[in-house]
Amino acid sequence: MTAAAALIDWPLEAEDDTPLALWTAQEIAAATGGKASVAFAVGGVAFDSREVMEGDLFLALRGESADGHRFVTGAFGKGAAAAVVEHSVLHPHVLVDDTTAALDALGRAARARLAPEARVIGVTGSAGKTSVKEALFAALDRGSRGRAHRSVKSYNNHVGVPLSLARMPARTQFGVFEMGMNHAGELSALTQLVRPHVAIVTTIAPAHIGHFSGEEAIADAKGEIFEGLEPGGIAIIPADSPHYERLRAKAAQHAGVIIAFGRAAHADVRLLDVVPAPGGGSLVTADLGGFGEGGGKLCYTVAQPGDHWVINSLAVMAAVRAVGGDLGAAGLALAEMAGLAGRGARHVVAADGGDGSGTALVIDESYNANPASMAVTLAGLGATPAARRIAVLGAMRELGADEDRYHAELAGPVLAAGIAHAVLVGPEMAALAAALGKSEGAALAAPLQVDHVQTSAEAADVLARIGIAGGDAILVKGSNSVGLGALVDLLGSGRWPDKER
């Protein structure tokens, strides 16, 4: 057979008939019940005109503070190929009655058009959901040679989830979606959109507890993710959580299989051993249990430091196994996983003096904070080799009436971490300052030095006074609304001021 004949006889696969364009005008109109002005095809979807890329579909959503229709012209100026709008515009568009409803409809259509063998994973939890989502994507994308899809950034709410679905190509083999919530009932709606085959709860902690009666209510709200499971779906839950039985009972109402991960003896995917890995991170040995095919023990490296990453890796491995993914590829992905911006990214910055190394380490945890994540991150700082440890800790928000207690209880983890200087940011941090022995305006007669300030800019001033020296490890962590991301940017900019003389 000649080469040309061999190409002609090349075996066809089902996906060969799948369109390469993300959406056509006809498909968008059919999904949304709208009317297309002309024929067109788009390669992406965006609702923020600042994020529009060449060939995107721009959704002109009406928000509380802005109407997306005001930005249609700007979106086309950035290269949008078409728009979904509620009134006609002088550009290719699909006309609908309600653009927000159209986004939901487009998300549902994207989920519905996946091949029957494709698998979708939903991830939620009080902490770690973005990290687990990113690790799962890295593992499944490597194993499927680029046929995985996930929600980007922290697009995990009533707009971000349908947008992430709408961006999913029809050829996707694995979809991974993060789902968040601040109130009861929110996850129930999101999981019905995603319809996961596998649903993961990473952990339960008092995040957003100001909107709930207690941690039990948070566990119930997180358990709503199981309501959208496909028939016979798999629930993955934390075996070490004090709310394990509560989560398991909820999962049993909707899941065909329940898999627990953690250290506990009843865990199906159980941590057997963990030792420090050369160059940082952890070398993990886990018992994968008997679910699925294979079973037995698995040894792999987790590049990111911290016990929370060790435990989260068990959830990742459980999910990869549950969807028939490649465990070897998952191990490689975890071994190469870099820290995420705002969620553990580590930056080496130039620094004079100190131990003479010429560099300092900045640990960026500036995106979010709750009591559980604060404790594990401080423990990670304590385990990080450093000549001097500095912690810039921003307030934890949405903790309700007990916020003073939650902040004050961080004193133990701060002291255990061997921190030389703590910079506490925000009025809520007064309780921690007092617990560490420093009332406002009083001197602290202890090795740990404490400064309590109100803003990120004031924290920068304190660091300028302290001076960043060679061998320092600086942790920056707080709720995103505190604005400590700007401090991380300043630390990494190379424009950091010298210590005041």
Q: Is 131 annotated as a binding residue?
A: yes
286 is written with which tokens?
A: 């886990």
377 is written with which tokens?
A: 């991150």
**Are the beta carbons of 428 and 396 closer than 8 angstroms?**
yes
At 397, give phi and psi (nearest 5°).
Answer: -100, 165
Q: Is the dihedral of CA 37, 43, 47, 52 positive or negative?
A: negative
**Are the beta carbons of 173 and 118 closer than 8 angstroms?**
yes
At 394, give phi and psi (nearest 5°).
Answer: -90, 160
Distances (CA, A) of 335 to 83, 90, 151, 302, 432: 41, 50, 22, 5, 36
Distances (CA, A) of 380 to 375, 408, 418, 464: 9, 19, 11, 24
Distance CA 289, CA 239 (A): 14
133 is written with which tokens?
A: 């989502």
Distance CA 254, CA 69 (A): 41
Q: Is 125 annotated as a binding residue?
A: yes
Q: Is 25 annotated as a binding residue?
A: no
Q: How far is CA 50 from the centre of its chain?
A: 22
Distance CA 416, CA 104 (A): 47
Q: Is 127 annotated as a binding residue?
A: yes
Q: Is 130 annotated as a binding residue?
A: yes
Q: Is 63 annotated as a binding residue?
A: no
Residues contacting residue 184 through CB under 8 Å, at least 6 positions apart: 212, 217, 220, 221, 224
Distance CA 490, CA 496 (A): 7
Residue 144 burial by CB count (10 A; 0-12/13-18/19+): exposed, middle or buried?
middle
Distance CA 11, CA 463 (A): 64
Q: Is 126 annotated as a binding residue?
A: yes
Annotated binding site for ATP: 125-131
Annotated binding site: 125-131
